[in-house]
A and B are shown apart, each in its own frame.
Chain A
Amino acid sequence: MRLAHRFAMENDLIRADCIESTEFPELAGKYRVYAVPKTVINEAAAFEGALPEGYFLDGILSALGPGSGAEAVS
């Protein structure tokens, strides 16, 4: 979670929400949150687990796809 907030500091286009899943069960259900932490990207892609900085960044960039400087997911 700390990383997501820190990422938000680097670009005005980034917003990072820390969501207490037990208090928002409908949202957690919508994104099928069974294990935490779970990171949802632009309401579409997602990955689970607390990742180190580089892997967390790669996970996000690959979800964004081409045109963002990230590599396309094959």
Chain B
Amino acid sequence: MGLLGEEEILEVRERLKEMPNPVKLIHFTQELNLEYGRETRLLLEELAALSDKLSLEVYNFLLDVEKVAEYGIDKIPATVVRNDKDYGIRFFGLPAGYEFSTLLDAILAVSKGDSGLAPETREKLRNIAEPLHLEVFVTPT
């Protein structure tokens, strides 16, 4: 029994057909003492199975210290969405409900290598010359 329902699987598979290029999900977790750790990993495994352009790498937060440092992971469960390039896209926690569609949106944008933003937004963002860390807090409704 999976986390995604039959209908949802069909919908997601259909959406992922839009992926022009491969995308990697890099997941950080641990086996014990992590409330939604198991669910998050299962959800990502089910998702990654729905497209041959989508792959999943799982690392242990406590043991894989080099990867943890490389991706700047300070809490888990954590998931990075990247292609050949790490754009700085991170999810912390179980991406369920509305956030599941946010995850699909990030996967499709990264696959296309295109943010889809307005030209003037892109220009202003490219002019930012200092590190910018955005933390967007959400709830699973």
Digit string of A16-46 for contact with B (CB within 8 Å is 1, else 0)?
Answer: 1111111110011001010011111111000
Chain A residues touching B, majority SS: mixed
7 extra A-B contacts, CB within 8 A, seeds A12-B88, A20-B140, A36-B137: A6-B117, A9-B109, A36-B138, A40-B137, A53-B121, A57-B121, A69-B129
How long is the Cα–Cα vector from A31 to B92 in the complex, in angstroms?
16
A69-B120 Cα distance, complex, nearest whole Å: 13
Chain B residues touching A, range: 35 or more
**Structural contact, A14 and B99, CB atoms closer than 8 A:** no
Please name all residues of chain A whose beta carbon is closer than 8 Å to the beta carbon of B138 when the two chains form the complex: 1, 18-21, 36-37
A-B contact pairs, 25 of them (CB 8 A): A5-B87, A5-B105, A7-B115, A8-B88, A9-B113, A10-B126, A11-B125, A11-B126, A12-B88, A13-B129, A13-B131, A14-B125, A17-B92, A18-B95, A18-B102, A23-B93, A24-B75, A27-B135, A43-B133, A53-B118, A53-B121, A64-B130, A69-B124, A69-B128, A69-B129
Q: Tell me, in angstroms, the Cα distance from A43 to B140 when the chains sit together.
A: 23
